[in-house]
Each structure stands twice: as C-alpha cells, then as structure tokens.
Chain A
Amino acid sequence: GAGVSQSPRYKVAKRGQDVALRCDPISGHVSLFWYQQALGQGPEFLTYFQNEAQLDKSGLPSDRFFAERPEGSVSTLKIQRTQQEDSAVYLCASSLIGQPQHFGDGTRLSIL
C-alpha cells in the first residue's frame, strides 16, 4: 500500500508524559502537514513541511509541541509534558505541491 501511514493508531499516556507520533508520507510527496482534530471539529492546522524545511509552525499550540522531518520523508510530532487538553486525533497529510492532500488514518491520543 502506498498511502500515508501513521503510528501508533492509538496512544494513551498519563499527564506529564512525553509522546511521539510518527507519519510516513507517500513516497515523493514534498508537502507534509500535521493537523489536530478535536471531537466534532474540523482539522486544525499545526505545521507544514516542504521537504525537510518547516515553513510554517504557527498552529502549534505551545512550545511543548515540536515537529521534525529531518530527511524530508518521515515526520515526527512530539508533545512534551502532555496535558489533558492535548487529547485529540492527530492527522498527517502529504501531497505534491499544489495537489490534493492524502490523509493517514490518524493517531488518537488520550491523556489521562
């Protein structure tokens, strides 16, 4: 399968723990996006990469959130010192420049 792959699908963590969410985009896709989706809401933009360059991180809620894509392929979204309000589905999408996005299945994060 050549789709966007996200792992883990589900993550439960205790408040204060650090978590790392992985996104493996479609091969050759230059653009990579992270979104946060709360229940009943649309996806909220977090950050955008073009290859390895993080061109926009204006949507990251706080300095506890950090994303990287060091080789321009796989990306990791890290959340430090998790809080209950971080509970959400985290979606990753990739695309060619200017083309429609392809979404992964998401990671459902629950903070206890």
Chain B
Amino acid sequence: QKEVEQNSGPLSVPEGAIASLNCTYSDRGSQSFFWYRQYSGKSPELIMFIYSNGDKEDGRFTAQLNKASQYVSLLIRDSQPSDSATYLCAGRGVKTSYDKVIFGPGTSLSVIP
C-alpha cells in the first residue's frame, strides 16, 4: 500500500463545473497536507495546504481534511481550461517524526471548454 494514494484519472469536467479531487493516506501520524498543481513539463506549484480538520478556502479552491477517515480533498469551483493539469497530494510527517513529505501519484484533470 502506497502511503499517499490518489485516483490517477483522467478526470474530465466541463468548464464552469466543480472539480473534486481526492486523496487518502495511510499514516495516522501525518500532520499536514499539501495540494500542488503541475503543468506538463513544469515543476509542482503549491495551491493549498491544510493542517486542521475541516475546510480551508482560498478563492476558487477549497481543501478538506478528515483525519478520522484519513482523507483529503480539493474542490475547484468554476473550473477553467487553465486548471487542466496534474494535481498532486502530499502528506508531511508520514511515518516519521521529522520533516518528510511524501507525494501521491497525482490526478490528471482536464477542463473541457
């Protein structure tokens, strides 16, 4: 079992719809979680990070964390074609007591105009 898991996709949504991206993790000791966006041929760029249970909103993006279910999600409202990319979920403090960050395999999102 991978430590951080995501559906690889591709996930296709029409422009203007809500895109929902999901991530699960195996280590209950994980402290914080990050969502990165990666365009083809580019390096990952941070979109959101979340430490506490519940929702965290930033513009069109909402991150949700449920530590009891070991589940993290990212919602993208009013999806735009420019949101088409791979979305990487990462967990920090995975199975260690120090600053290790582990990434999931990524979910490919395609927003159809």
Given contacts A45-B100, A48-B100, contact A100 B88 (CB under 8 A): no
* Cross-chain pair count, CB within 8 angstroms: 52
Q: Please report the total number of B residues contacting A with Cβ < 8 Å.
A: 23
A56 in contact with B88 (CB, 8 Å): no
B100 in contact with A42 (CB, 8 Å): no
B105 in contact with A56 (CB, 8 Å): no
**Which A residue's beta carbon lies closest to that of B96?**
A56
Residues of the A chain whose Cβ atoms lie less than 8 Å from the Cβ of B92: 98
- A contacts with B: majority SS: strand
A43 in contact with B99 (CB, 8 Å): no
Q: Please report the total number of A residues contacting B with Cβ < 8 Å.
A: 24
A105 in contact with B88 (CB, 8 Å): no
13 additional A-B pairs beyond A43-B88, A97-B99, A105-B42, beta carbons within 8 Å, are A33-B101, A35-B103, A42-B105, A45-B103, A55-B98, A56-B98, A56-B100, A91-B43, A98-B31, A98-B32, A101-B34, A101-B90, A102-B46
